[in-house]
């Protein structure tokens, strides 16, 4: 679980998702014109769909072109894994310019989870690429209706690290505020930026991951953003016996008129007492096998029994990314903090199951230590 400099050498990858017509193409065009984007590779489904023809300089091969901004644009018609691998191999051979960032643009109806799973599990990709951020575009004009009628749209907003409210100049303040409040209820931790014609600084979208390449360090607060749940006013204390308690900050969507929103829960669970790694692994195995579809996204920093440094965990539905031991705690707060975005799964069953599993391992460990038959010989 150790963390090495190899983490920082991996290529930062941003996934841009959003419903049909929400402005992904406009955003990409605007981003690629900005300074500092010349070492970026863009993966799209088809060149014709994305509409970047006016930026093309020359075709390197059938599926790779160079843009006048210096960026590489690659059409991925088939497997994302083979596309990313091929891009990396061509970079290594010098067939295409060097790049230090990849942007993957999804189709409007796409569930982003399979792409995130690919980045988290493929043996080659996990050693060469790292997920930096999920950026979701939401149409300010049609976004509310899309959230009402399309569960994919709700899920895209729920799993985002950054949400862009596009066409923000085409609606009045009341409409914009209502949509923003709805998005914030779905995903309190994701900053929401109103955008017109894709005009937004790249710094607001990138470097949202755990690893900050600029400082070669970990920025837990920027990545986890657990304080957003307290700021949102959904702070509920739950005490367990005399020696441990946890807090969760959960959203009550009973006031929402939309049934898709009703299924999404966003909360942070905090444990004061250290967690046994065996207990957490057992919990993760049970929940990913039985309720994986309900765990839309999980991020956390764990205080483990026997470990001085925290361990970062990250999951998307039934896939957990390999954990990483961080060099040090980001603050004096050494409690385990786990942020959940779930579907049809509340904080109570998660909190209680992890607590009782941890208590069982603690009891087993203490009994073993007190059993004279297992005591070491003097």
| Tens digits of residue pLDDT in 239-265 | 343 334 445 544 444 344 445 687 899
Distances (CA, A) of 338 to 12, 148, 164, 226, 316: 23, 29, 25, 8, 13
Whether 51 shows a pLDDT value over 90: the answer reads: no
- Position 271 pLDDT exceeds 80: yes
pLDDT of 40 over the 80 cut? yes
Q: How far is CA 99 from the centre of its chain?
A: 22
pTM for the predicted model, two decimal places:
0.87
Q: Helix, strand, coil proportions of the chain in percent (round to 5)?
A: 40, 25, 35
Closest CA to 43 of 2, 84, 85, 89: 84
pLDDT tens-digit profile of 113-145?
989 998 898 988 999 999 999 999 999 999 999
Residue 80's pLDDT band (cuts 50, 70, 90): confident
**Percent of the chain residues past pLDDT 70, beyond the cut:** 82
The per-residue pLDDT for 54 is 58
For the cut 50, the answer to whether the pLDDT of residue 327 exceeds it is yes
Higher pLDDT, 60 or 312: 312
Cα torsion through 349, 184, 160, 263, rounded to 10: 40
pLDDT at 262: 78
């Amino acid at each position: 679980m150790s963390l090495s400099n190899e983490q920082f050498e991996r290529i930062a990858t941003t996934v841009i998702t959003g419903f049909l017509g929400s402005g992904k193409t406009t955003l990409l065009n605007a981003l690629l014109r900005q300074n500092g984007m010349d070492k970026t590779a863009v993966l799209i489904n088809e060149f014709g769909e994305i509409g970047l023809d006016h930026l093309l300089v020359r075709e390197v091969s059938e599926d790779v072109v160079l843009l006048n901004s210096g960026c590489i644009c690659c059409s991925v018609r088939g497997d994302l894994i083979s596309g990313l691998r091929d891009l990396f191999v061509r970079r290594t051979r010098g067939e295409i310019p060097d790049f230090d960032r990849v942007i993957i643009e999804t189709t409007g109806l796409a569930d982003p989870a399979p792409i995130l799973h690919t980045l988290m599990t493929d043996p080659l990709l996990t050693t060469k690429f790292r997920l930096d951020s999920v950026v979701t575009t939401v149409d300010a004009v049609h976004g509310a209706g899309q959230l009402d009628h399309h569960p994919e749209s709700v899920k895209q907003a729920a799993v985002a690290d950054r949400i862009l409210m596009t066409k923000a100049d085409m609606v009045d303040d009341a409409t914009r505020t209502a949509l923003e409040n709805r998005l914030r209820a779905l995903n309190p931790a994701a900053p929401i930026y109103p955008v017109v014609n894709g005009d937004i600084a790249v710094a607001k979208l990138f470097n949202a991951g755990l690893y900050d390449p600029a400082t070669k360090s970990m920025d837990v607060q920027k990545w986890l953003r657990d304080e957003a749940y307290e700021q949102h006013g959904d702070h509920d204390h739950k005490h367990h016996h005399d020696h441990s308690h946890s807090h969760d900050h959960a959203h009550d969507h009973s006031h929402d008129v939309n049934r898709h929103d009703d299924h999404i829960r966003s909360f942070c669970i905090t444990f004061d007492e250290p967690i046994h790694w065996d207990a957490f692994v057992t919990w993760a195995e049970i929940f990913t096998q039985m309720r994986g579809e309900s765990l839309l996204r999980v991020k956390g920093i764990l205080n483990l029994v026997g470990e001085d440094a925290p361990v970062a965990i990250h999951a998307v539905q039934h896939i957990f990314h390999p954990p990483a031991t961080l060099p040090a705690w980001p603050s004096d707060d050494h409690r385990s903090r786990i942020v959940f975005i779930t579907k049809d799964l509340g904080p109570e069953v998660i909190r209680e199951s992890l607590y009782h599993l941890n208590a069982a391992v603690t009891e087993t460990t203490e009994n073993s230590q007190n059993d004279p038959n297992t005591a070491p010989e003097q």
